Structure 1
Amino acid sequence: MPNIAVTTWSLEQTAPTDLLPAEVPPGDIRIVRSEVPSPEFSRYLYASVGGDILWTDRLSWTYAQWQHHLERPGVETWVAYDHGTPAGYAELGPQDDGVVEIEYFGLIPAFRGRRIGGHLLSYGTARAWDLADRWPGMPDTKRVWLHTCSKDGEHAMGNYLRRGFQLFDTKVEEEAEAPPPGPWPGAYPA
């Protein structure tokens, strides 16, 4: 398969006041922290959100690798529900010196375009800023960052910018072109 150029943009907020919250969408939308580390649930979210946009780096993780990652102090998974159905998630991962990365963020395809993403990103970013409140001994958050790439959904970058994230780095790398794996074998293309 041919190579394709993939652009990766890194964005950050350096103060809680940088966050520009989105409006809460209409309907029964709730965001809940998944407090019990569950490799099965986290893998479901990862594969369901990223299956059509080439999230593949964690697909080969074993159960033990998922468990180890999820049990790290400060790792949190915040899940958006639409009428009780998981619609998407934000995964927070603390780093050194009060830095928190939004490691993964996105919506299951059926829930995109319904204004849930802006609300979930606002909520998840706010939880990154107050992470130390839930984790005794963790330093106060000084910076929240994330990255997105040209393979992500068409509205991802706009959502990040509208929430107050600022671009701080851009990289372009060649990658082998591959078909999206879908959320399970044989699911893509639909």
Structure 2
Amino acid sequence: MGAAAGAMREAVTRIAVDVTFLRMDAPPEGPAPAFPDGAAMTRVARCSVPFYRYLYDTVGRDWVWWLRRTVADEEVAALLARPEVSIHVLYQDGEPAGFYELERRGGDAGTNLSYFGLMPHAIGRGMGTAMLRHAIDTAWSDGPRMLTVNTCTADHPRALPNYVAAGFRILRTMREVWPVPNRLGLRIPDRLRVG
């Protein structure tokens, strides 16, 4: 049985990342930055699995977003159907340019900014700060006790500084080793590879 189980294991690339957990205890003060002309946010009332996968895969492909790629469509559909989960898409001149996902956990758990990112063609075009503030303001509009987010060293190098500049404070950083399935075809930077 041991040999058969070993033969059935999926081929993976192990990566080591430092995951930083952040928290915000009160809404930010001051006006939100404006979006560039032609950019606007839209909440997707009923996000389909194919559209969600398009958003997740396109935003995350360069940053080793792998976990939701391994989940069956039925599980993604169940997640998207939960009333406490919302998907918000940034459009620039009519095409998707990024998205974020909020999970309202309620009570002491507050709200979590589960995913946040721009599509590759939208990075560096002046939309990230406005989109992050939109996510923060949307999360606080429900009156949570706190807002949380995490990022890691596989993410864009500006992710952590941008979260801190937006008003999040660092709680802790932990080293994690992830088994990224090779079948996903993700580009894994050498700096993240383990052994």
Q: For this structure pair, what is the TM-score category when the shorter chain's length is used for normalisation?
A: 0.7 to 0.9
1:80 aligns with 2:90: yes
- Deviations along 1:92-131, whole A, 9 cap, x unmatched? 0111415100000001111101121111110011111113
Larger CA deviation: 120-129 vs 90-99: 90-99
Distance (whole Å) between structure 2 residues aligned to residue 117 and residue 42 of structure 1: 19
Of 41, 46, 50, 2:56 maps to: 46
Structure 1 residues 176 and 67, CA, compared in 2 at 3 Å: closer, same or farther?
Answer: closer
Contact 1:22–1:163, Cα closer than 8 Å, also in 2: no
Shift in Å, 1:42: 0.9
Larger Rg: 2
Deviations 1:64-106 (A, max 9, x none): 1111001111211111111011000010011141510000000
TM-score under structure 1 length normalisation: 0.83
2:185 is matched with which residue: 175, 181, 185? 181
Q: What's 2:147 paired with?
A: 144
Q: Say whether residues 1:61 and 2:65 are aligned partners.
A: no
How far did 1:21 drift? 6.0
Name which of 119, 122, 133 aligns with 1:111. Answer: 122
SS at match of 2:33: coil
Q: Percent identity?
A: 31
d(CA) in 1 for partners of 2:67, 2:53? 12
**Structure 1 range deviating more: 83-92 or 95-104:** 95-104
1:29 aligns with 2:32: no
Question: Aligned runs of 1:98-177 on 2, under 5 Å?
Answer: 99-131=110-142, 140-175=143-178
Q: Secondary structure at the match of 2:69?
A: coil
List gaps (5 residues or longer) in structure 1. Answer: 132-139, 184-190
In structure 2, runs of 5+ residues without a counterpart are 1-11, 188-195
Residues 86, 29 of structure 1: alpha-carbon distance in 2 compared, 3 angstrom cutoff: same
Deviating beyond 6 angstroms after TM superposition, the runs of 4 or more aligned structure 1 residues are 177-180
Count of residues in correspondence between the two structures:
174
